[in-house]
């Protein structure tokens, strides 16, 4: 009998790639999405598959289905989207987690929370390791996402301790690739769209801020391996590419890759924007046998090709 898997946020950027991976692995997949940032177009390769189903549903309301595994990816992940309705963002992380944990408890399913590097805030420890408890502003404009995800982790561990639920928590660092939204405000999609349209490339601050970018297929593989890991391994575990570069270096690389004539402009840094971001992935290597395989330049070439096809 096929294992039944739910992917909340399954029509989103990472979620749709995960759904495809699960179908390839012969799981029966139910994609749950309210299509706030996800799109049905992302599921076009799956709609006709007999072991795939898509349902429009908001996980801030209970869901009554049967399942063996739940990947909880539902939540807008870019500042433009999660700050557009911050109360709803917090509700998705908190109420949504409670509803999915309740479903996992009822069906005796294992459940994975797609957490985020944002739980570390603007880190004072570099690179970030899972035991670091973070430096987060609980009342700033990013708190709806940062603290929502932190509270979701709390709920997952409380359900684990109180109800012996099998939980998995993956802290996802910056991920990029095809199906990113052109208007999501994330740095890779922003720079590529600006470069391809000949618009000025907007850098916030002097460009010395750093990020580490992981290609989407690597992120999805890590999530799959985490869900498949032994019951007693809960995480949290960092999922990201430890190759760190500055935002200015990224902009210059994208200009080169696109052959763009765009000029770089500088804007004011948003409140609470982290200055450095780099995962320590020793735990992922040890427990999951996982390391990223797709380098930044290869990933950018695939992503630029995608954006050329949709712009």
Tell me if 31 sits within 8 A of 52, measured CB to CB.
yes
Beta bridge partners of 115: 171
Q: Which of 71, 82, 120, 145 is catalytic?
A: 145
Cα separation, 35 vs 41, in Å, equals: 11
User: Please, what's the b/e burial string for 124-158 (b: 16 or more CB within 10 A of its CB; e: otherwise)?
Assistant: eeebbebebebebeeeeebbbbbbbbbbbbebbbe
Cα separation, 171 vs 146, in Å, equals: 12
Q: What share of the chain is helix, strand, coil (3-state, %, to 5)?
A: 40, 20, 40
Cα separation, 286 vs 61, in Å, equals: 37
Cα separation, 123 vs 247, in Å, equals: 17
In the residue annotation, 145 being an active-site residue is answered as yes
Q: What is the set of active-site residues?
A: 145
């Amino acid at each position: 009998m096929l294992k039944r898997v739910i992917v909340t946020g399954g029509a989103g950027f990472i979620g749709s790639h995960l759904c495809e991976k699960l179908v390839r692995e012969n799981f029966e997949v139910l994609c749950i999405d309210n299509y706030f940032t996800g799109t049905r177009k992302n599921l076009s390769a799956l709609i006709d598959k007999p072991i795939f189903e898509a349902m429009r549903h908001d996980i801030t309301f209970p869901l009554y289905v049967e399942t063996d595994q739940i990947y909880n990816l539902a939540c807008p992940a870019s500042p433009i989207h999660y700050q557009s309705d911050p109360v709803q963002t917090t509700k998705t992380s908190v109420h949504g987690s409670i509803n999915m944990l309740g479903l996992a408890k009822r069906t005796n399913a294992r459940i994975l929370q797609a957490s985020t590097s944002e739980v570390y805030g603007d880190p004072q420890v570099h690179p970030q390791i899972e035991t670091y408890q973070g430096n987060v502003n609980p009342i700033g404009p990013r708190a709806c996402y940062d603290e929502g995800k932190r509270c979701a982790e709390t709920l997952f561990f409380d359900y684990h301790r109180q109800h012996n639920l099998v939980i998995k928590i993956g802290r996802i660092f910056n991920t990029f690739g095809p199906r990113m939204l052109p208007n999501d405000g994330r740095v890779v999609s922003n720079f590529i769209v600006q470069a391809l349209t000949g618009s000025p490339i907007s850098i916030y601050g002097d460009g010395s801020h750093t990020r580490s970018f992981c290609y989407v297929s690597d992120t999805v593989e890590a999530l799959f391996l985490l869900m498949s890991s032994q019951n007693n391994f809960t995480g949290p575990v960092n999922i990201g590419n430890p190759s760190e570069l500055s935002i200015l270096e990224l902009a210059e690389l994208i200009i080169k890759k696109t052959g763009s004539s765009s000029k770089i402009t500088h804007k004011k840094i948003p409140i609470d924007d982290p200055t450095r971001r780099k995962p320590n992935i020793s735990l992922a290597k040890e427990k999951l046998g996982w390391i990223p395989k797709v380098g930044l330049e290869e990933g950018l070439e695939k992503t630029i090709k995608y954006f050329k096809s949709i712009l």
